[in-house]
């Protein structure tokens, strides 16, 4: 049974940093495509960053240069390093995992497993 458990969310001021973690069980994070998505109140879920089994990454334009997705094979953990946070980054952040080694973009339909989400709140 695959489980994804996120942590690391919280409240920060604009310009601050956070690191989100997603610990996987029943699933090897480095063998498949994984990603981070977010959903703000009243908005649709959107892709933030994805990484495939070759460690090739893709970041959404809204976070490019500020956020970095990475993974730790030994800890079987996916990370999202978030710097220079803005109030518009406020959302629930979700870890997602696909059943394929390659990623096919930010379409949520491509991701089979989801974590419960962690809240990130950025104040101005």
Give me the pLDDT at residue 102, please: 93
Name which of 85, 33, 75, 22 is nearest 58 in CA terms: 33
3-state SS string over the chain?
CCEEEEECCEEEECCCCEEEEEEEECCCHHHCCEEEEEECCCCCCEEEEEECCCCCEEECCCCCCCEEEEEECCCCEEEEEECCCCHHHCEEEEEEECCCCCCCCCCHHHCCEECCCEEEEEEC
Give me the pLDDT at residue 95, please: 98
Per-residue pLDDT of the chain (124 residues; tens, 9 = 90+): 899 999 999 999 999 999 999 999 999 999 999 999 999 999 999 999 999 999 999 999 999 999 999 999 999 999 999 999 999 999 999 999 999 999 999 999 999 999 999 999 999 9
Give me the pLDDT at residue 98, please: 96
Give me the pLDDT at residue 14, please: 98
Give me the pLDDT at residue 92, please: 98
Name which of 11, 23, 22 is nearest 89 in CA terms: 11
Give me the pLDDT at residue 37, please: 98
* 88 Cβ contact partners less than 8 Å away, ≥ 6 residues apart: 40, 62, 122
Give me the pLDDT at residue 116, please: 97
């Amino acid at each position: 049974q695959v489980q994804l458990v996120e942590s690391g969310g919280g409240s920060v001021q604009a310009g601050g940093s956070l690191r989100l973690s997603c610990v996987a069980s029943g699933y090897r994070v480095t063998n498949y495509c994984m990603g981070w998505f977010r959903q703000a109140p009243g908005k649709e879920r959107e892709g933030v960053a994805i990484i495939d089994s070759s460690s090739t990454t893709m970041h959404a334009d809204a976070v490019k240069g500020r956020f970095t997705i990475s993974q730790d094979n030994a800890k079987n953990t996916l990370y999202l390093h978030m710097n220079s946070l803005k109030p518009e980054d406020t959302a629930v952040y979700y870890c997602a995992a696909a059943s394929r080694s390659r990623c096919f973009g930010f379409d949520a339909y491509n991701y089979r497993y989801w974590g419960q989400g962690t809240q990130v709140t950025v104040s101005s």
